[in-house]
Amino acid sequence: MITSRWLVLFPVLLTGCGADEPVRSVDWYKTHNAERAIQISECDRDPGRLALTPNCVNAKQAENELRLAERGFRKRETLDLKER
């Protein structure tokens, strides 16, 4: 009986351990230069833990899209291969 209580209670206790950072979109990072730079520097400081988090991915994607736009590259159209 006590073991079954711990099996239910333990996961509930663990849910409060992580910091809930809001996930920002690529468009948000495109318009907030300072926050994008801070996020990318944090991601680069600890890539093993942070590289695949949504905010790191979105901040780096926003940086890439802005750099490509500065160079005059257009965003590619998505190919619909089902038509053929």
Domain boundaries of the chain, sorted by first residue:
21-73
Contact (CB, 8 A) for 55 and 23: yes
Q: Across all residues in the chain, what is the average pLDDT?
A: 84
Grouping H, G, I as helix, E, B as strand and the rest as coil, residue 19 is: coil
Q: Which of the four pLDDT bands, split at 50, 70 and 90, describes residue 2? A: low
- Residue 11 has what pLDDT? 57
Report residue 44: phi and psi, to 5°: -75, -25
Q: Which of the four pLDDT bands, split at 50, 70 and 90, describes residue 20? A: confident
Write out the H or E segment, with its range, that includes residue 75: none
- Residue 74 has what pLDDT? 79
Q: Is the pLDDT of residue 43 over 90?
A: yes
**pTM for this entry:** 0.67
Q: Is the pLDDT of residue 38 over 80?
A: yes
